[in-house]
Structure formats: structure tokens, C-alpha cells
């Protein structure tokens, strides 16, 4: 029981420090003005010089010609869009195991760094993501339908049936594209 008051005092001490001394860098120096000594506090301003563009698609101005930009949470995406960070490189193709896979990425916002956004901009990975999405949709559609699983199992066992369904899907999508073109022409 005797330990509880000391814990309470320690917590109140932390609150006192946080209330009376802001958690920031404080730079002070002593100066003598007209015979009296005073403490002058300097504001802490930080500037960062960095090449954040990566592999630029357009030539960048010389360092001496560049201007400081204020970056905060409100204008971060806007600043990123104006800088156009860009990466172009080759990675081992682990999908097929053959050769290299070219990756060319330009970032316009923080959301472009999310894994799904990167996958959507790499064509072979995007195809796999689309297939996964379609399979997930199929699984949701089949939920609660008794004969659906048996029908899917039969289609997967019979390659000729699978090819005919695939051909039917392609012709249906071509017909849909043709009908869309006809609507646009009218």
C-alpha cells in the first residue's frame, strides 16, 4: 500500500513537466545588453536537403537554383506530385522464374506507396491481383449455393469444358465491347 503514493507522485511529476515545459528543442544563449545579462531563445528551424526524386524523368535544376519548400501534413501529397519521385529497375521474375521483370513506378501521393497501388502498376502482378479478385468474388457468389461447388469441380476436371467456357467468355466480352462502340457512334 505504501508504494501507491510514490507512483502517483511520479505520474504527477511527468504531468508537471509536460504542462510547464513544451517537448521541443530549446536553444538559448546569454547576451549582455546595456550592462545586464539576458537569455535569448532562438527558434528551432530545421531544413533538409535531399534528393527525393529518385531517377528523374525530367532534368532537375542545379542545387544552387533550388528553393526551400515548406512541407507539412496538409501539402505533402501536393509537394510529392510536383517532385514526381520515380523509380525504374529490374527485379528477378519469380512469377515465371525466367529473366527479369521491369518495374517503372512514379509516385504522386503517399497512397502510391501502398502494396496494392504498386501491384496495380506492374502488369504481371496486376493480372494476378485481378485473378485473385475474381476468385474471391466467385467464392462469395458460390456461398450458400449447393450445386455450385460440384459444378466448379466438374469444370476444373474437364479441360475441354474449361476451354469452351473460356472461349465463350472472350466472345462475350468482345460482343460487349462492340456494343459499347456502337452506342458511342450513335
Whether residue 118 is predicted with pLDDT greater than 90 in this model: the reply is yes
139 or 106, higher pLDDT: 106
- Alpha helix locations (H) across 101-147? 115-120, 123-142
Residue that the C-alpha cell 465491347 belongs to? 177
48 or 88, higher pLDDT: 88
Q: Which of 10-14, 22-26, 28-32, 114-118 has the lowest mean pLDDT?
A: 10-14
The domain limits of the chain are 54-143, 152-186
Whether residue 183 is predicted with pLDDT greater than 60 in this model: the reply is no
**Cβ within 8 Å of residue 29, ≥6 positions away:** 39, 40, 42
**The predicted structure's pLDDT at residue 78:** 93
How many other C-beta atoms lie within 10 A of the C-beta of residue 60?
A: 11
Q: Which helix (H) or strand (E) is 1 found in, with range?
A: none
47 or 175, higher pLDDT: 47
**The predicted structure's pLDDT at residue 1:** 47
| Listed residue (61, 53, 54, 105) closest to 82, CA to CA | 53
Q: How confident is the model at residue 44 (pLDDT cuts 50, 70, 90)?
A: confident
CA 56 to chain centre: 19
Collapsing DSSP to helix, strand or coil, 23 comes out as: coil
Please give the average per-residue pLDDT across 140-153, as a whole number. 81
**The predicted structure's pLDDT at residue 6:** 47
Whether residue 12 is predicted with pLDDT greater than 80 in this model: the reply is no
Q: What is the CA radius of gyration of the chain?
A: 31
Amino acid at each position: 500500500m505504501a508504494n501507491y503514493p510514490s507512483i502517483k507522485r511520479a505520474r504527477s511529476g511527468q504531468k508537471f513537466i509536460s504542462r510547464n515545459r513544451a517537448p521541443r528543442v530549446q536553444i538559448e544563449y546569454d547576451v549582455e545588453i546595456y550592462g545586464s545579462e539576458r537569455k535569448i531563445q532562438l527558434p528551432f528551424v530545421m531544413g533538409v536537403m535531399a534528393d527525393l526524386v529518385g531517377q528523374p524523368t525530367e532534368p532537375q535544376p542545379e542545387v544552387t537554383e533550388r528553393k526551400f519548400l515548406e512541407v507539412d501534413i496538409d501539402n505533402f501529397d501536393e509537394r510529392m506530385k510536383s517532385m514526381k519521385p520515380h523509380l525504374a529497375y529490374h527485379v528477378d521474375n519469380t512469377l515465371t522464374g525466367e529473366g527479369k521483370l521491369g518495374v517503372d513506378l512514379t509516385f504522386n501521393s503517399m497512397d502510391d506507396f501502398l502494396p496494392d497501388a504498386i501491384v496495380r502498376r506492374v502488369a504481371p502482378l496486376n493480372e494476378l491481383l485481378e485473378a485473385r479478385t475474381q476468385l474471391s468474388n466467385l467464392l462469395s457468389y458460390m456461398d450458400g449455393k449447393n450445386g455450385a461447388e460440384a459444378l466448379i469441380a466438374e469444370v476444373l476436371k474437364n479441360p475441354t469444358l474449361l476451354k469452351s467456357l473460356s472461349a465463350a467468355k472472350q466472345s462475350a466480352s468482345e460482343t460487349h465491347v462492340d456494343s459499347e462502340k456502337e452506342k458511342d457512334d450513335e
